[in-house]
Amino acid sequence: MLYGELMSGGYDGGSDILDQCTIGVEAGEIAVIVGPNGAGKSTAMKAIFGLLSLHNGTVSLNGRDVTKLSPQDRVREGMSFVPQVRNVFTGMTVEENLEMGGFIRGDDFSGTMSEVFKLFPVLYEKRNQRAGELSGGQRQQVAVGRALMTKPRVLMLDEPTAGVSPIVMDELFNRVIDIARSGIAILMVEQNAKQALSIADKGYVMVQGRNRYTDTGLALLSNPEVRRSFLGG
């Protein structure tokens, strides 16, 4: 489905952050990238989405090489990315935010909006409220909902539970599971490693821009070295 293979690169003018990093996810799977701060987790996701250039490696979606495509063209191919910050239009209503996600399609997206409201009922209740007036967890729901409006094959989430309460985190993870069950591939960077790996079909532990461990989420959770070094014992 989506694969970034042997990726090496960094931000313009800087040294490499990624060092032959490989990340992949299949349709209906949840893949989680974890690791210490500065490991290159978010950078790997941005590289897959085309937000930084690679001098080595490839990115493919459904067997097609998309390495040279712009982020906008990758969205048209079926990729959708939710950044950690500045991921909603605060001056617009919830409904207007969702509409912004649907415009790229050029067709009737009312059915998709109904699906988003069914997935996140609070957004329907607050559809006429400005996104800037919502709680952090509700804003994350808006951001994910807007990404889903593009009808993606792959949904990429950069630290979706950052700064939210444990209850909201559990709710967001439950919705991520629901989205994956609909057939969408989920690629997620998470600091809440234990919780994220517990719902992951596939897990990647990154250190200094490289893959240190790759396995199922449950296998990584039960790996003594992973637990000791990255999960707090």
Q: Domain coordinates of the chain in residue numbers? A: 1-78+153-233, 85-151
177-215 pLDDT, tens per residue?
A: 999 999 999 999 999 999 999 999 999 999 999 999 999
CA distances from 11 to 17, 21, 53, 57, 202 (A): 8, 15, 7, 15, 27
> What tokens were used for 176?
């991520």
122-144 pLDDT, tens per residue?
A: 999 999 999 999 999 999 999 99
Q: What is the pLDDT confidence band of residue 232, given thresholds at 50, 70 and 90?
A: confident
Question: What SS3 class is residue 187?
Answer: strand
* 54-61 β-sheet, strand order: 18-25, 2-9, 54-61, 64-65
CA gyration radius for the chain? 17
> What tokens were used for 158?
């950069």
pLDDT at 116 over 70: yes
Give me the pLDDT at residue 233, please.
67
pLDDT at 106 over 90: no
Decide if 157 contacts 188 (C-beta within 8 A). yes
Looking at the structure, give the CATH architecture of the domain made up of residues 1-78+153-233: 3-Layer(aba) Sandwich (3.40)
Q: Is the pTM of this model over 0.85?
A: yes
Report which of 140, 81, 80, 147 is spatially closest to residue 113, judged by C-alpha positions: 147
Quick one: DSSP state of residue 149?
Answer: T
For all residues of the chain together, what is the average pLDDT? 95
pLDDT at 102 over 80: yes
16-31 pLDDT, tens per residue?
A: 999 999 999 999 999 9
Quick one: DSSP state of residue 221?
Answer: H
Q: What percent of the chain lies above the pLDDT cut of 70? A: 99
Give me the pLDDT at residue 12, please.
79
